[in-house]
Amino acid sequence: MIYREAGEFKSTYQADQAIFPIRQDRWFILAILAIAFIVMPLVGSDYWLGTIMLPFLILALAALGLNVLTGYAGLLSLGTGGFMATGAFAAYKLATMFPGLHILAVLIMSGLITAGVGILFGIPSLRIKGFYLAVATLASQFFLIWMFNKFGWFTNYSASGVISAPPMTIFGDIYVTGPQATAAAKYLFVLAVVAFLALMIKNLVRSNMGREWMAIRDMDIAAEIIGIKMLSTKLKAFAVSSFLCGIAGALWAFIYTGSVEPAAFDINRSFQILFMVIIGGLGSILGSFLGAAFITLLPIFLSNAPHWFGMNIPVDMISHIESMVFGALIIFFLIVEPHGLARLWQIAKEKLRLWPFPY
Amino acid sequence: MKFNLKASLLAAAVAMSSLLSAVQAADDQYIGSLVYRTGPYAPGGIQWADGFADYVQLLNERDGGINGVKLTLEECDTAYNTDKGLECYERLKKGGSTGMPAVMPLSTGITYALLDRVAADKIPLITSGYGRADAADGTVFPWVFVPPATYWGGADVAIQYIAKEMGGADAMKGKKIALVYHDSAFGKEPIKTLEALAAKHGFELSLHPVSPPGLEQKPIWTKIGRQIKPDYVIMYGWGVMNATAIKEAAAVDFPRDKFIGIWWSGNEPDVIPAGDAAIGYKSLQFNGVGAGYPVHEAIKTNLYAKGKGSSKVEGDVGAVAYNRGMQSAVILTEALRTAMKEYGNKPMTGEQVQWALDRLDVSADRMKELGAEGLFDPIKLTCADHLGQGRVQVAQWDGKAFKAISDWIQPNDEMIRPMYKDSAAAYAKEKGITPRECK
């Protein structure tokens, strides 16, 4: 009843190839965007926008980046944190070397630099696969963090190795980084960047390139036989993935925390993002967002929940309960639906199609 | 920490029964406290948090708060994780009727992430013995306070102490000193100071970064023990790294009494796991060690005798990190007291506490009144000086307890203060900050 496609006819190729061919999906996405762009800034407090939504959006972007590589191209990577750090440090160097540079230019250029680094570390992917590739990318994780720690040039020779974002504006006078920036401005800026990039990737995976990635993921020998060039396709996946992770890292350092040390992008960050992709759903744009929501929002909810109910539980106990509940939920979800939250959503849609006469 | 199931269940039951009754009275002074009672660094974090909480509760129980204003303490567990710390700060900053009067993030990472925010939120940031050393310059950092000591001052005191051991600064020429450090913002802080001192005194400095968490230090210590053979080793370590370093030093037979750690490397959890290997190991301290002070007695009679103490572990009262937590509580509550003198006996806002911190004067007499004479060094801050005298003492582990083995040593201000100024000026330039005028 609610989700019925009957009667929706496509008479042109354009209509058939639309990103969201079903009317209900279009309305749903528009509603989500309207809530995100209009309702959230109006009703959300600074705490909500600046502390809950910002890290969620930025990590969702990083998860999207890893999903391109692992979910669509089937290349397992543990180097996400390193690529995020590359983006953050590239953005810092660009912003301090060329003070007049616009923040969007800084973001795009740091994304491109990270893409270059990603290609470099993607070269071994031609010969090694699966867990072996994960170990090779793990090397990039450790190497990059070590490099930013070791060479003072990356931090403008700061004694502590910490970088911090100079105040930057969009539209002339609206601050999006630095202490003058309001939470709403930061949130809207990050939301716009993430929404745009997500749309771009949604299109990309439907294109020639995306289909080649999926062909390699599903069976690389078959893909090679039908004429897909292995090296360039895999490297393209690395480039796009690191581009997104680089921008996520730059956003994290510049807009969310304002100043970071390389340790903010350590191996734990890579694992965190890998878990987002696994829980959210491999090979799904929506899954990246659902996974990021699960991993970032749930712990905050769990640590706040006792307080909302007026319970006075010692903080260490809250932390321990949080870890236990979180771990149990991860196991529960992966048993109930090993393909991730995105698959649950898909099942829900299928059920709605048949409702009220399921079989 | 031993997990006491029965007590925890009981506590939970009590908490449930007091549902909704936890709403605090509007005229209480709210204190938000960022602590880490969980996570990889919890052994030191729990003691710090207990010391902080106990001192605050002591004021409530014994004096009825500060000038009749009761204190409400709310903790938030960061697990020493920057993301969580930011979340905690944002959650607590609007607590109570006046918001957080000051934030003590207890982590270098969180400190850096908060540096810009506190100025915008008008909440003073107090980083006792960690964070940015150059925040000692109050003209560039009006909202950041670093009493009672900085990492740079600590490095200088370590060298002063070593020079004295060797028989004067002249005797240091040609000697070798090794720095073993946590490869992070925290561990890198002393390098510039030590390099400047090496140039001044003519000793050779070798640097040995340890990747966190620091459980694998064999190659470093083999190199130190067999190849470099330094006359002294200085360590800026944290967490499991410390005990590992002490054990490795013993394994290569490096004399432990020629091995001196920074204050974060000088807690009981750092030396006890190393066992007898740790006997003779030294560390810098910006607070006194031991539990034999009147303030400890007051805490025992007013809190622990009535079952109201925070610590569940026998003998934690008076532990090094416990005293450090108490010291942070003293700095904050004395600032509140100073602020109340100006603005009246009611809960204070961040702005009012910042005004008070700019004039904080906890003299030796005041320390005596607090029952902490000799436990903490007096602190006097001004608008331009956010550090105070910055004195540090050296303590040595004898297998059972840390014992102070030196007087309070003053860092060489003629050298260090200009370094603070230069570094702060560079920060101001990068951030576009105009330093404020201080009369």
**Backbone angles phi and psi of A247, in degrees to 5:** -65, -40
Does residue B238 surpass a pLDDT of 60?
yes
User: Residue A201 CB: number of other CB atoms within 10 A?
Assistant: 23
Per-residue pLDDT at B16: 46
Does residue B160 surpass a pLDDT of 60?
yes
Per-residue pLDDT at B313: 82
Q: Which of B15, B37, B117 sits opposite A311 (nearest CB)?
A: B15
When mean pLDDT is compared over A24-28, A307-311, B116-120, B294-298, the highest value belongs to B294-298
Stretch A327-353: mean pLDDT, rounded?
86
Q: Which residue of A has its CA nearest to B23?
A: A310
Question: Above pLDDT 90, what percent of chain B?
Answer: 72
Bridge-based pairing state of the strands B176-182 and B204-210: parallel
**What's the CA gap between B385 and A27, in Å, rounded?**
60
Among A269, A272, A303, A316, the residue to mutate for chain B (most B Cβ within 10 A): A316
Q: Note the pTM of the prediction, 2 decimals.
A: 0.87
User: Residue B432 CB: number of other CB atoms within 10 A?
Assistant: 10
Per-residue pLDDT at B2: 46
Q: Which residue of A has its CA nearest to B186?
A: A160
Taking the CA of residue B403 and the nearest CA in chain A, the distance in Å comes to 31
Taking the CA of residue B20 and the nearest CA in chain A, the distance in Å comes to 5
Lowest mean pLDDT among A70-84, B1-15, B131-145: B1-15
- Mean pLDDT, rounded, of chain B: 89
Per-residue pLDDT at B6: 52
Does residue B233 surpass a pLDDT of 70?
yes
Give every CB contact of residue A303 below 8 A, 6+ residues apart in sequence: A318, A319, A322, B77
**What's the CA gap between A92 and A157, in Å, rounded?**
12
Does residue A197 surpass a pLDDT of 90?
yes
Contact A46 B185 (CB under 8 A): no
Does residue B8 surpass a pLDDT of 80?
no
Burial of A220 (0-12, 13-18, 19+ CB in 10 A): middle
Give every CB contact of residue B279 below 8 A, 6+ residues apart in sequence: B256, B397, B398, B399
Per-residue pLDDT at A126: 84
Q: Which of B8, B75, B90 sits opposite A315 (nearest CB)?
A: B75
Contact A300 B87 (CB under 8 A): yes
Contact A316 B209 (CB under 8 A): no
**What's the CA gap between A279 and A298, in Å, rounded?**
13
Contact B91 A51 (CB under 8 A): yes
Stretch B201-217: mean pLDDT, rounded?
91
- Do residues B192 and B248 lie in contact, with contact meaning Cβ atoms separated by under 8 Å? no
Does residue B23 surpass a pLDDT of 80?
no
Per-residue pLDDT at B316: 87
Instruction: Output B156 or B95, whichever has higher pLDDT.
Output: B156
**What's the CA gap between A296 and A216, in Å, rounded?**
31
Does residue B17 surpass a pLDDT of 50?
no
Per-residue pLDDT at B1: 41
HSE (CB half, 13 Å, CA atoms) of A262? 30
Query: How would residue B194 be classed by pLDDT, with cut points 50, 70 and 90?
Result: very high
Question: Above pLDDT 70, what percent of chain A?
Answer: 99
Taking the CA of residue B38 and the nearest CA in chain A, the distance in Å comes to 6
Lowest mean pLDDT among A5-19, A90-104, A195-209, A286-300: A5-19
Instruction: Output A42 or A307, whichever has higher pLDDT.
Output: A42
Question: Above pLDDT 90, what percent of chain A?
Answer: 54
Taking the CA of residue B398 and the nearest CA in chain A, the distance in Å comes to 32
The SS3 of residue A31 is helix
- Mean pLDDT, rounded, of chain A: 90
Stretch A261-277: mean pLDDT, rounded?
91
Does residue A267 surpass a pLDDT of 60?
yes
3-state secondary structure chain B: CCCCHHHHHHHHHHHHHCCCCCCCCCCCEEEEEEECCCCCCHHHHHHHHHHHHHHHHHHHHHHCCECCECEEEEEEECCCCHHHHHHHHHHHCCCCCCCCCCECCCCHHHHHHHHHHHHHHCCCEECCCCCCHHHHECCCCCCEECCCCCHHHHHHHHHHHHHHHHCCHHHHCCCEEEEEEECCHHHHCCHHHHHHHHHHHCCEEEEEEECCCCCCCHHHHHHHHHHHCCCEEEEECCCHHHHHHHHHHHHCCCCHHHEEECHHHCCHHHHHHHHHHHCCCEEEECECCCCCCHHHHHHHHHCHHHCCCCCCCCCCCCCHHHHHHHHHHHHHHHHHHHHHHHHCCCCCCHHHHHHHHCCCEECHHHHHHCCCECCECCEECCCCECCCCCCEEEEEECCCCEEECCCCECCCHHHHHHHHHHHHHHHHHHHCCCCCCCC
Stretch A195-221: mean pLDDT, rounded?
94
Contact B87 A51 (CB under 8 A): yes
DSSP state of B147: T
Query: How would residue B18 be classed by pLDDT, with cut points 50, 70 and 90?
Result: very low
Per-residue pLDDT at B351: 94
Does residue B338 surpass a pLDDT of 60?
yes
**What's the CA gap between A104 and B269, in Å, rounded?**
48
> B313: which 2 tokens?
């572990």
Residues of B in contact with A96 (CB under 8 A): 430
Give every CB contact of residue A181 below 8 A, 6+ residues apart in sequence: A167, A175, A255
Per-residue pLDDT at B7: 53
Stretch A312-338: mean pLDDT, rounded?
85
B22, B49, B24, B23: which is closest to B35 by C-alpha?
Answer: B49
Does residue B168 surpass a pLDDT of 90?
no
Residues of B in contact with A97 (CB under 8 A): none
Chains A and B form CB pairs within 8 A to the count of: 122
User: Residue B238 CB: number of other CB atoms within 10 A?
Assistant: 29
User: Residue B246 CB: number of other CB atoms within 10 A?
Assistant: 28
**Backbone angles phi and psi of B397, in degrees to 5:** -90, 125
Residues of A in contact with B76 (CB under 8 A): 315
Stretch B113-137: mean pLDDT, rounded?
91
Token pair 């058939």 is at which residue?
A16
Token pair 């436990």 is at which residue?
B375
**What's the CA gap between B87 and B84, in Å, rounded?**
5
DSSP state of B390: -
Per-residue pLDDT at A171: 86
Give every CB contact of residue B127 below 8 A, 6+ residues apart in sequence: B104, B105, B111, B135, B144, B145, B146
Give every CB contact of residue A150 below 8 A, 6+ residues apart in sequence: none
> A113: which 2 tokens?
């630099």
Per-residue pLDDT at B411: 94
Does residue A11 surpass a pLDDT of 70?
yes
B1, B2, B63, B77: which is closest to B29 by C-alpha?
Answer: B63
- Do residues B246 and B235 lie in contact, with contact meaning Cβ atoms separated by under 8 Å? no
Q: Which of A258, A263, A311 sits opposite B184 (nearest CB)?
A: A263
Taking the CA of residue A165 and the nearest CA in chain B, the distance in Å comes to 8
Contact B112 A317 (CB under 8 A): no
The SS3 of residue B207 is strand
